[in-house]
Amino acid sequence: MPGRFVYWMNVSVDLKIEQDDGEEGSGSWLRIGGPLHREFNARAQALTAMIQGRRIYETMEGFWPAARHDETLPDYLREYGEIWTSKAKLLVSRTRADATHNTRIVGRDGDAIEQLARFRDETDGDIGVGGATLATHLLWA
């Protein structure tokens, strides 16, 4: 059975990912305590892979790789840092030439949506999709 795309972003009850421009998935409205983040971590660990648009990927890569070793952070944040860094990821970008942390770039040399649909068809399990624009495009893949 082919894999399944699942929306994988913090979204408010009124379906917003930003309260103010430039928050990039964070901001004062976002409150995730330990118990909820542990559940989030468990679900992240269960994903087969993650697909992220460039903006969300760059937000994530700016924090999570260092977070996994930051002893000033709660253990559940360090744990997610380890999950994000080690989980297989596909970065959808026409402009990025390289990526680290177990990440492969798609979309530079062809139709990203077609490439992602093919990846889904060749993959078992849930594939987390992060990035509002990307998720919207994948609705029809």
Please choose, from the candidates 90, 96, 101, the residue with its C-alpha nearest in 3D space to the C-alpha of residue 5.
Answer: 90
pLDDT band for position 29 (50/70/90)? low
Range of the domain at 48: 4-9+32-138
Q: Specify if 77 maps to a domain.
A: yes
Indicate whether 80 belongs to any domain.
Answer: yes
Q: List Cβ neighbours of 12 (8 Å cut-off, separation of 6 or more).
A: 19, 29
Tally of domains within the chain: 1
In a domain, residue 15? The reply is no
100-125 pLDDT, tens digit per residue, is 999 999 988 878 989 999 999 999 99
In a domain, 84, yes or no: yes
What CATH number has the domain bearing residue 117?
A: 3.40.50
Residue 17 lies in a domain: no
